[in-house]
Structure 1
């Protein structure tokens, strides 16, 4: 065991001088904290810290333990690669964990590490049954012959794909005929036997693609059944539907029951209560609407009744966890530009309306619940000035107490800019919240270049998130004011506000952006001749739209993976349910949606006259490469100062450490040149 000086002073982060400001290099030296579990005895929290080696262009995630009563954190692992906790033993404290697809154990202090399994194929998304006798995991299974080597084995040097239906690629991966399936097997002393595929022969994925994990397949508390999440649709049906379901597999009968067959939208995130008498999950009502109101539902196994706990609540649930006594549920949700912890009580009573109480308040995001110990929850908290750390929440008062301080030493030596809330009146007389981030050395008697940040999603919350790409403190440290409005379409301001963007991409939401920049530009410290607009995904689309209608407000633009031509986008994107709902359907037919002409940036390119940096990922299949190339080509042919930053091996995000450094350097180089 390695002792850490101070609670969670984990990382060997390069020291910074007093009053130093954030830099791209320092940003990527920060430890990225995420919770694992509260130990079975309720005395410690185990968490992971991911660190990046920019020179080697790789990351490592190691495990740590911190006592909940306070005290020094202990480093449990130091090997390269990723690790995740499978279980802890209440009596011995022994920790079972997954490392590089193999099962390991160690003592509670990190000593006596032993590799338990030696599977020929590394396992993913592993869960050991509560009684310790079985294991579930996921593995790719060849179902279809798509690749030429599978169709014509004698042509072993060929490289071709053959498709007869849609969903031929997803996110950043081409479909190869293999699907992730859930398996259950007997588990004795690290050996598995009697494997059973719960989805034999089915061309469906569990976990869900592309972001599903071990949360998509869980054990019942009595170890007699497994609940898993999948969308049992293929091809075109898959591409236009969000109708995932919860399937219950009985180990005794070997039969599978669709628990949510009557529900037509997303059904995800199942979790049993402690006794196993009920199961809760997140549910959306409308098929094809990925940003529908996310309600919290409960199924009672004895009565068969389904109860919607948040039906009357004007918000959308992000995640949840049962109270350890089964009487309450805690959930997280966006609210007024933040993400907070809420409590639902009386979940077992028959009254239709359940009391909902907001537990926490403040200018921060609480974006993960790790576990519970008595009257406290362990959560992950961050804000625009600070990367995530773990905290204890006193459930009776909402008081937050820091558990980890992985990056505290670094942030204590940084000069950080002020983050303020600003209320803006929109063109349709609505009140809109915006966050304003000021430079660390802000002087109201001076004038500053100002950036309008356009959020993606388009229904993602613009809360107090800490981004390692769109890092507002890094922008502020370079002398810019940033205004980040909660325009139409974002959760946290009521369901109606959240829903208002669908079908109106280039309408009121874009006017909201103009209202925001016009409002902040009234301040004497804003240099009206040095305004810029930046954003990615729908934010990149917004930048392209603003380039055609801004009437010389802006001096520069930066668009990352933005939609430029809605017609060509509809013909190349993969999750067509999103395009059908938000744009209105296909562009052909006798009466195609008006948005293809009215709200497509390509239709306004004749009005472009402002420098633009265009960033495009080569394996982005959500907003594919033709979008960025079309925009760049148009700008070039119009004689507009423009630059293309092409990242051939990045998807809709920027994952590689060195590519992230290139992104930041080109970002600020462009602003220096044009603003």
Structure 2
């Protein structure tokens, strides 16, 4: 038999109820193995001895960022156990040991990843890989070595082998080594500060090439999307720290309330609070950076973000005048109108407490559109026609509000892209426009008129 994942609910736009179905290879009707759970069940993996089925499950219907539990089903009696009931982190990728005694589970943890070995007998666990950013882990047939893709802020993905006994990692591929040897790139540095609700909040900072601590540098503040996501120590193929730093900017980012990798309670805290806790974290993080790093020029600040990060750019634009310029990519500007045009109805219904006619106060409380009379900062608005998650009309609304008030604004439109800029040719245009906008306001004469 084959295990597959499908959502067969009548209104799939309003539900996250993925289920695991068993399809007999010799024919017959599919069997729903997870019918009892109205939330998301996914990623089924059979054990090598075929006695067990491991999979991930969430417990709250309609919430895409709920914690992913590691579930174990006894294939003989279909009894299910939660192996991570006492965890606060979500399980990402899962794989079996060759002897079917252990499951290896990868998690996101404080801007990096960790790999845990979990006993299926009693759920005891041991962290066997930490402090790196790894993807697609696979075990060798003898169960002694993990092979994975590894990256960090200075290196795109390469293939690594990790000896599980010693923890030593060995690089197997060198696809990018020759090109990287010609570049001057700094590693990210970590910082922590006290943010909203007196919580410890984590951030990353990257210095530009040929950094001189005696100089003053403009700062580019990057804001992640999700909103339940995180900025990590990776070599992102779009929001790449090194590309933003290359013209001579310090780059910083904060994993504000709602970010993943810091426990589920921290992740949950953003729902219904789009404009207060995260914004407070970002402003307190900026205060900390200006105080702790004297090479940051507080008169030349820029911020950029996509999706929820784009929303936060609009929100920042209505709440403060600290920035010389802003960049919003595919951001939510008007949550009420966004609700009527997104393909994911479950998303705004969870984040704002229901549809607009049931929770209008929350939609309007956190709507940048309602405060757009406060806009005062030049802004680049980026949006794409094929974005069905955050419709292009959100960008039109924001651009109209900016220009109607006579503010410097530019609209970058991609007719053939969706929520992300995928095509290499378009990505070149995207980078040229982004860096051009930053240069105009961070390296120009400081004028805010266009």
Pairwise TM-score range, normalised by the shorter structure: over 0.9
Alignment-derived partner of residue 553 in structure 1: 322
Distance 1:253 1:622 in 2: 37
> Are positions 1:326 and 2:100 aligned together?
yes
Distance 2:88 2:133 in 1: 19
> Are positions 1:290 and 2:64 aligned together?
yes
> Are positions 1:480 and 2:256 aligned together?
no
Alignment-derived partner of residue 598 in structure 1: 365
Distance 2:401 2:275 in 1: 20
Query: Which residues of structure 1 form unaligned runs of 5+?
Result: 1-224
Select the residue among 534, 542, 550 that pairs with 2:312: 542
Distance 1:341 1:411 in 2: 27
Cα offsets for 1:373-425 (capped at 9, x unmatched): 42001111111111011111111232211111110111122111231001111
Distance 2:361 2:168 in 1: 50
Alignment-derived partner of residue 88 in structure 2: 314
Contact 1:584 1:593 (8 Å CA) reproduced: no
Alignment-derived partner of residue 37 in structure 2: 263
Alignment-derived partner of residue 238 in structure 1: 12
Alignment-derived partner of residue 73 in structure 1: none
> Are positions 1:572 and 2:351 aligned together?
no
Distance 1:672 1:337 in 2: 28
Distance 1:438 1:671 in 2: 16
> SS at 2:197's partner residue?
coil
Select the residue among 418, 421, 428 that pairs with 1:651: 418
> SS at 2:305's partner residue?
strand
> Are positions 1:501 and 2:279 aligned together?
no
Task: Trace 1:406-421 onto structure 2 (pairs within 5 A).
Answer: 406-421=175-190
> Are positions 1:630 and 2:415 aligned together?
no
Distance 1:398 1:561 in 2: 41
Alignment-derived partner of residue 229 in structure 1: 5
Aligned pairs, number: 440
Q: CA deviation at 1:255?
A: 3.1
Distance 2:395 2:389 in 1: 12
Contact 1:323 1:372 (8 Å CA) reproduced: no
> SS at 1:456's partner residue?
coil
Distance 1:255 1:264 in 2: 21
Query: Which residues of structure 2 form unaligned runs of 5+?
Result: 443-450
Distance 1:253 1:647 in 2: 45
Cα offsets for 1:487-530 (capped at 9, x unmatched): 11112111110111111111101111111111111221110100
259 and 557 in structure 1: CA distance in 2 versus 1, 3 angstrom threshold: same
Alignment-derived partner of residue 76 in structure 2: 302
Q: CA deviation at 1:252?
A: 4.5
Q: CA deviation at 1:253?
A: 6.3
Q: What is the TM-score normalised by the length of structure 2?
A: 0.95
Contact 1:418 1:440 (8 Å CA) reproduced: no
Cα offsets for 1:235-279 (capped at 9, x unmatched): xx2111101111112235623211001011111111100011111
> Are positions 1:613 and 2:380 aligned together?
yes
355 and 593 in structure 1: CA distance in 2 versus 1, 3 angstrom threshold: farther
**RMSD value, Cα:** 1.2
> Are positions 1:365 and 2:133 aligned together?
yes
Alignment-derived partner of residue 302 in structure 2: 532
Q: What is the TM-score normalised by the length of structure 1?
A: 0.64
Distance 1:493 1:556 in 2: 30
Cα offsets for 1:561-580 (capped at 9, x unmatched): 00001111011111111111
> SS at 2:108's partner residue?
strand
Q: Which runs of 4+ in 1 moved over 6 A?
A: none
Task: Trace 1:446-525 onto structure 2 (pairs within 5 A).
Answer: 446-522=215-291, 523-525=293-295
Select the residue among 328, 352, 360 that pairs with 1:583: 352
Cα offsets for 1:38-88 (capped at 9, x unmatched): xxxxxxxxxxxxxxxxxxxxxxxxxxxxxxxxxxxxxxxxxxxxxxxxxxx
Distance 1:528 1:298 in 2: 52
Select the residue among 409, 415, 424 that pairs with 2:193: 424
Contact 2:220 2:252 (8 Å CA) reproduced: yes
Q: CA deviation at 1:471?
A: 0.8
Contact 2:304 2:327 (8 Å CA) reproduced: yes
> SS at 1:392's partner residue?
strand
Select the residue among 657, 662, 666 that pairs with 2:429: 662
Task: Trace 1:61-210 onto structure 2 (pairs within 5 A).
Answer: none
Q: CA deviation at 1:639?
A: 0.7
Distance 2:395 2:265 in 1: 32
> SS at 1:396's partner residue?
coil
Distance 2:284 2:297 in 1: 17
Distance 1:252 1:565 in 2: 51
Contact 2:220 2:250 (8 Å CA) reproduced: yes
Distance 2:87 2:409 in 1: 47
513 and 459 in structure 1: CA distance in 2 versus 1, 3 angstrom threshold: same
Alignment-derived partner of residue 11 in structure 1: none
Distance 1:372 1:512 in 2: 43
Hey, which of these two has a bigger chunk of helix by percent?
Answer: 2
Contact 2:40 2:58 (8 Å CA) reproduced: yes
Q: CA deviation at 1:338?
A: 0.8
Distance 2:232 2:93 in 1: 16
